């Protein structure tokens, strides 16, 4: 007979992990293994939304699915992140959806802690910190930029902060009913779709909850070219979102584009000052060079401050990484804000 004094605990809620993947054979195995190693005791499934890949990713995820029945591979013909997320959410069997990035590795207690926070707060979405960690000196410099206020603006999910309601969080552990309530991810937004979806969750009365208890290891881009492409694309869509939803954007999003515009104008004015001097006029426009000089001094000062105690290689790369992030993101933002997102995305695939 069942123990009348100690009734059986209710079954644990099922969890569906959703991971869009496209040409990422380098990282996807570690990401999936971090999911399968979770200490959460409830039922789980791993849904990999596979975009058209040419680097061996398709064969790799097929092998993962063969080795573990919890892994399912879904076709994502469009290939974009929001399309892949929506494919996974629609195929999910369970009421909690955990968004996973192929560049991320979840700590072993991630789902268990996140579900506890969901239950305690009643939030629609719970997330934590993007804990960027690099292996090479370049990647370590990128990780340092990601996790400092001078790099990506100081959002709590980059640099940490107190637990509580937030504008957005990294990745996210969602109630599937809340995702369905707001119509899933907007597939017209190729980057920044998390922020936009969290905006709709909040506007419809839901809560997005940040907790530093959840820290997900993230592997940064491995070269200047890849970092610049990532930042340009992110800035491009951030500019698009700022144009679409002007009242929902904080001032920090406008600092990199303001810097880019200021440095560009300063250089142009300075060059005009050289022309003035060559023509015998008073070269007062040379003062324009003060703007790029001030920015360079800022980069040097940041490198000295944050590079202290790190290897010379990491500090040297930080001197390159910081302006790469600022300029690429800022230029992208300006173009996106000027309504050029669709044309650029069409020609670059971003």
Determine the Cα–Cα distance for residues 112 and 41; give it in Å rounded to an integer.
8
User: What is the CA 107 to chain-centroid distance, rounded?
Assistant: 18
Residue 197 CA: distances (Å) to CA of 13, 169, 193, 242, 337: 23, 11, 6, 14, 19
All domains of the chain in start order, with CATH: 15-221 (3.90.550.10), 251-348 (no CATH)
| Residue 317 and residue 323 in contact, taking contact as beta carbons nearer than 8 Å | no
pLDDT interval class at 109 (50, 70, 90): very high
Class of residue 281 by CB neighbours under 10 A (exposed 0-12, middle 13-18, buried 19+): exposed
Class of residue 288 by CB neighbours under 10 A (exposed 0-12, middle 13-18, buried 19+): buried
Determine the Cα–Cα distance for residues 139 and 121; give it in Å rounded to an integer.
36
Angle at 348 between CA 334 and CA 157, to 5 degrees: 55
Residue that has been written with the tokens 């979840």 in this structure: 106
Residue that has been written with the tokens 């039922």 in this structure: 43
247-303 per-position pLDDT tens digit: 777 777 888 889 999 999 999 999 999 999 999 899 999 999 999 999 999 999 999
176-212 per-position pLDDT tens digit: 999 999 999 999 998 889 999 999 999 999 999 999 9
Angle at 31 between CA 26 and CA 37, to 5 degrees: 140
pLDDT at residue 8 is higher than 70: no
pTM for the full model?
Answer: 0.81
With the C-alpha atoms ordered 279, 282, 283, 284, is the resulting torsion angle positive or negative?
negative
pLDDT at residue 1 is higher than 50: no
With the C-alpha atoms ordered 89, 77, 48, 203, is the resulting torsion angle positive or negative?
negative
135-163 per-position pLDDT tens digit: 899 999 999 998 888 887 666 666 667 88
Which residues lie across from 215 on neighbouring strands?
129
| Residue 132 and residue 142 in contact, taking contact as beta carbons nearer than 8 Å | yes
């Amino acid at each position: 007979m069942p123990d009348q004094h100690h009734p059986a605990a209710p079954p644990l809620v099922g969890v569906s992990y959703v991971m869009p993947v496209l040409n990422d054979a380098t990282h996807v195995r570690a990401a999936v293994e971090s999911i399968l190693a979770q200490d959460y005791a409830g039922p789980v499934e791993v849904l990999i939304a596979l975009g058209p890949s040419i680097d061996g990713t398709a064969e790799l995820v097929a092998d993962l699915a063969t080795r573990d029945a919890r892994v399912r591979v879904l076709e994502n013909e469009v290939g974009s992140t929001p399309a892949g997320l929506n494919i996974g959410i629609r195929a999910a069997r369970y009421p909690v959806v955990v968004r996973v990035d192929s560049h991320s590795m979840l700590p072993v207690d991630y789902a268990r802690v996140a579900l506890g926070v969901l239950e305690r707060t009643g939030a629609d979405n719970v997330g934590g910190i993007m804990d960027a960690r690099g292996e090479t000196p370049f990647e370590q410099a990128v990780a340092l930029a990601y996790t400092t206020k001078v790099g990506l603006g100081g959002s709590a999910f980059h640099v940490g902060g107190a637990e509580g309601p937030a504008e957005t969080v990294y990745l996210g552990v969602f109630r599937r009913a809340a995702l369905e309530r707001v119509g899933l991810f907007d597939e017209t937004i190729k980057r920044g779709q998390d922020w936009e979806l969290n905006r709709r969750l909040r506007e419809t009365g839901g809560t997005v909850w940040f907790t530093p208890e959840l820290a997900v290891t993230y592997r940064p881009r491995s070269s200047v070219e890849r970092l610049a492409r990532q930042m340009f694309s992110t800035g491009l869509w951030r500019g698009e979102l700022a144009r679409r939803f002007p009242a929902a954007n904080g001032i920090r999003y406008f600092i990199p584009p303001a810097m880019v515009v200021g440095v560009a104008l300063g250089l142009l004015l300075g060059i005009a000052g050289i022309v003035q001097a060559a023509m015998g006029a008073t070269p007062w426009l040379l003062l324009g060079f003060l703007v790029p000089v001030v920015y360079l001094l800022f980069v040097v000062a940041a490198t000295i401050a944050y590079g202290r105690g790190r290897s010379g290689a990491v500090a040297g790369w930080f001197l390159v990484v910081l302006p790469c992030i600022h300029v690429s993101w800022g230029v992208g933002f300006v173009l996106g804000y000027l309504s050029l997102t669709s044309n650029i995305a069409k020609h670059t695939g971003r």
